[in-house]
């Protein structure tokens, strides 16, 4: 059971939350500009990084806001969380092993 820090409500138990998965690039404004391979990669491809990863989480049973969270997939350590549309906290180290 992870402890997830909601940027508005503070640390809450994982059961109050839903995970939206890896935070990908923004949805292209004109999907038709992408060819089939590029669109499929965008739709289903994920980096699936072994190390710090940025994800979206939803405080479903609380304030109902979505936010961004950095979690190290190797040991489930939560590194930081911040609202969408805002820069990640200063000093957040997303280094560590790649794929």
Q: How far apart are CA 86 and CA 67, in angstroms?
A: 10
Q: 65-94: which residues touch other proteins (CB under 8 A)?
A: 65-66, 75-78, 84-85
Q: How far apart are CA 55 and CA 24, in angstroms?
A: 8
Binding of residue 99 to other proteins (CB under 8 A) = no
Q: How far apart are CA 69 and CA 81, in angstroms?
A: 4
Catalog residues that contact other proteins under the rule CB under 8 A.
1-3, 14, 18, 20, 23, 26-27, 30-32, 34, 36, 39-40, 43-44, 56, 58, 60, 64-66, 75-78, 84-85
């Amino acid at each position: 059971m992870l402890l997830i820090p909601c940027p508005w409500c503070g640390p809450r138990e994982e059961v109050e939350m839903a995970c939206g998965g890896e935070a990908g690039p923004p949805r292209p404004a004109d999907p038709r500009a992408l060819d089939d391979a590029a669109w499929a990669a965008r739709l289903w491809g994920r980096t699936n990084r072994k190390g710090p990863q940025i994800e979206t989480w939803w405080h479903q049973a609380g304030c109902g806001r979505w936010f961004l969270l950095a979690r190290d997939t190797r040991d489930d350590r939560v590194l930081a969380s911040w609202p969408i549309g805002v820069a990640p906290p200063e000093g957040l180290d997303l280094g560590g092993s790649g794929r």
